[in-house]
Amino acid sequence: MAGGREIKSKIKSTQNMRKVTRALEMVSASKIRKAQDLMKASRPYARAMRKVVAHVAHASTDFNHPFLTEREDVARVGYIVVTTDRGLCGGLNSNLFRRLLPAIREWQDKGVQVDVVAIGQKAVQFFRRIKGVNLIGSTTHLGERPKIEQLIGVIKVVLDTYSAGGLDRVYLAYNDFVNTMTQRPTIDALIPLPLVAAEMEATEGRTGAEMPNWPVAGLKLEQTHDWDYLYEPDAATVLDHVLNRYVESVVYQAVLENLASEHAARMVAMKSASDNASKVIGELTLSYNKARQAAITQEISEIVGGAAAV
Amino acid sequence: MSTIRCDIVSAEAEIFHGEAVMVVATGELGELGITPRHAPLITRLKPGHIDVVLEGGERQQFYVSGGILEVQPQVVTVLADTAARAADLDEAAAQRAKKEAEDALANRTDAEDIAQAQAKLAQALAQLQALERMRKNLKH
């Protein structure tokens, strides 16, 4: 019965593993709800922000903000990459990296320098290994309730570099939460805003109505107003402030989307892990029973053989 | 009496929305009282109270630690900041983000990774506490 005991211990350890994956699955299932609530709670702000930016961007001021002007020569691009801190969430992060890497390589082939800002431990680990990519800022361990102040630092790094001319375009990469079964790795233009509007129009089937989460959707930059705001203290200061806050809110939304995606992906991954564990346990139990049966049969035939010999 | 729609939102939650007779806020250049049919205006807010006077004279008070006030003839929108914001605080945050990246690049071993992660976590918690305390002080 030596084989039997081995199989039994295997069954035991598989059962323990299934307990862990079940627990993780249930934890994630409850966290999805919370993440979705956070997403919902942040939407009014994003909506209001989008409205204000749309107004401000078209209001007739003679001041031209760098975020509103597209630069013709692109010498450096920046990526803000949002990933999870922890693993065990299926192919969530690797799918994003798989989309991101060709885009980065394409820029590099054109002789464009790529700078990356990492949000989340997995992005930090990934870009540490990638050659030729400059990691200019990172933040990790945002927790279950990400706060906007945890993101201020990295966003400021990007915006300051952009304003100083160190970056000509900034993209935002994250996992878009479609539903529990689907998370879409997404790379969106972040600044300058005309580029955002252009890419929105270029990507077919991604209209504002279908993407209620994306704050820029529906932002039409050619629209003009016949009135203007009273600015206090002056247009330049207010515009700068509004656009900074706007970018922060977009990145914050992406972080929340990614958080919801993380839990959804983990739940699905852990569910299939639990199912696989159950299957393995079934197979092992079968072979354990067979081994036991074989041992008994052998024992009986030995006894019978022994009795016959006597 | 005519009313003006008032929305107060922060990045993390919707704080108030409804009809108001008047909205009083602390703008960067001083106190503002917004009544219906106010001219379009946009200003930064200083940390302070926002008073919403509802129909019937009832007042509701909200504290914001800064933000943006947008006024249109029929709508007032307050985009409130959730965090205490100041230029040097932001700058410090940016420096931290840069340093974190540099540290991540400098230390490549796993054991150091874990120590690094724990240190970062402790640091982040300390920052959060400091901010929390600051916000409480601002409130009182």
ipTM of the complex: 0.70
Q: How far is B33 from chain A (nearest CA, A)?
A: 14
Of residues B1 and A18, more confidently modeled: A18
Per-residue confidence (pLDDT) for residue A84, from 0 to 100: 92
Q: Which of A43-52, A158-167, A267-276, B97-106 has the highest mean pLDDT?
A: A267-276
pLDDT in tens, A179-192: 888 899 989 888 88
Lowest mean pLDDT among A146-160, A218-232, A262-276, B34-48: A218-232
Does position A113 have pLDDT exceeding 80, yes or no? yes
pLDDT band at A216 (very low <50, low <70, confident <90, very high): very low
- Residue A17's Cβ-side half-sphere holds a number of Cα atoms within 13 Å equal to 17
Amino acid at A151: L
pLDDT for res A66: 82
Look up A68 and say whether it is catalytic: no
Tell me whether residues B70 and A227 touch, CB distance under 8 A.
no
Task: Answer with the residue of higher pLDDT: B103 or A103.
Answer: A103
Average pLDDT of every residue of chain B: 80
**pLDDT value for A65:** 80
CA angle B21, B22, B24 (to 5 degrees): 160
Binned at pLDDT 50, 70 and 90, residue B102 comes out as: confident
Contacting A residues, span 8-27, partner chain B, CB-CB under 8 Å: none
What is the pLDDT, as a whole number, of residue B132? 74
* pLDDT over threshold 90, residue A211: no
The 10 Å Cβ neighbour count of residue B42 is 25
Task: Verify whether the Cβ–Cβ distance B42 to A148 is below 8 Å.
Answer: no
Residues above pLDDT 90, as percent of chain A:
40
Judge whether residue A281 has pLDDT over 90: yes
Nearest CA in chain B to A228: B40
Q: Which domains does chain A have, with CATH numbers?
A: 2-27+266-304 (1.10.287.80), 46-265 (3.40.1380.10)
- Average pLDDT of span B103-119: 67
Contacts of A137 in chain B (CB under 8 A): 94, 97-98, 100-101
Residue A131 sits at the chain B interface (C-beta within 8 Å):
no
Yes or no, beta carbons of B82 and A245 under 8 Å apart: no
Q: Which two tokens stand for residue B14?
A: 């919707």
| B122 pLDDT higher than 50 | yes
With contacts defined as CB-CB under 8 Å, which chain B residues touch A41? Answer: 12-14
* Cβ of residue A238 closer than 8 Å to a chain B Cβ: yes
Chain B partners of A150 at a C-beta cutoff of 8 Å? 124
pLDDT-derived band at A264, boundaries 50, 70, 90? very high
Residue A21: the pLDDT is 92
Residue among B29, B93, B98 minimizing CB distance to A152: B93
Per-residue confidence at A265, pLDDT binned at 50, 70, 90?
very high
Helix (H) or strand (E) holding A196: helix A193-202
Q: Measured between CB atoms, does A213 come within 8 Å of chain B?
A: no
Query: Does the CB of A32 have a partner CB in chain B at under 8 Å?
Result: no
Would you place residue A213 in the very low, low, confident or very high pLDDT band (cuts 50, 70, 90)?
very low
More reliable by pLDDT, A11 or B48: A11
Residue A76, pLDDT above cutoff 60: yes
Q: Do B14 and A44 touch (CB under 8 A)?
A: yes
Name the residue with higher pLDDT: A216 or A195.
A195
Within 10 angstroms of residue A142's Cβ, the number of other Cβ atoms is 21
- Overall average pLDDT of the A189-203 stretch: 75
Query: Is the pLDDT score of B121 beyond 50?
Result: yes
Chain A residues whose beta carbon lies within 8 Å of the beta carbon of residue B121 = 141
| Predicted confidence (pLDDT) at residue A309 exceeds the cutoff of 50 | yes
Per-residue pLDDT, averaged over A43-53, amounts to 84
Answer whether the bond into residue A146 is a cis peptide, omega within 30°. Answer: no
Whether the pLDDT of residue A49 is over 50: the answer is yes
Choosing among A227, A232, A259, which should be mutated to test the B contact, i.e. which has the most B CBs within 10 A? A232
pLDDT of residue B139: 64
* Highest CATH level, class, for B4-86: mainly beta
Q: Which of A241, A244, A257 to mutate to test the interface with B (most CBs of B within 10 A)?
A: A241
Give per-residue burial for A248-287: e unless 16+ CB within 10 Å, then b.
bbbbbbbbbbbbbbbbbbbbbbbbebbeebeebbeebeee
Distance CA(A136)–CA(A134), nearest Å, equals 6
pLDDT(B61) > 70 = yes
What's the confidence (pLDDT) of residue A83?
93
The pLDDT, as a whole number, for residue B128 is 73
Chosen for mutation from A85, A152, A242 (greatest number of chain B CBs closer than 10 Å) is A152
Whether chain B has a CB inside 8 Å of the CB on A236: the answer is no
Q: Mutating which of B7, B12, B65 best tests the A interface, going by the most A Cβ atoms within 10 A?
A: B12
Q: Which residues of A touch B105 (CB under 8 A)?
A: 128, 135
Tokens at residue A80, please? 């803000």
> What is the predicted pLDDT for the residue at A17?
92
Q: What is the pLDDT of residue A226?
A: 58
Residues B29-46: tens digit of each pLDDT = 888 999 998 988 889 988
- Of the residues A35, A89, A173, A216, only one is catalytic, namely A89
Residue of A55, A128, A156 lying closest to B105 (CB–CB): A128
Q: From CA B123, how far away is CA A114, in angstroms rounded?
A: 29
pLDDT number for residue A129: 84
Reported confidence tier of residue A286, pLDDT bands at 50, 70, 90: very high
What is the DSSP track for chain B? Answer: ---EEEEEEESS-EEEEEEESEEEEEETTEEEEE-TTPPPEEEEE-SEEEEEE-TTS-EEEEEESSEEEEEETTEEEEEE-SS---HHHHHHHHHHHHHHHHHHHH--SHHHHHHHHHHHHHHHHHHHHHHHHHHHHHH-
Per-residue pLDDT, A208: 42
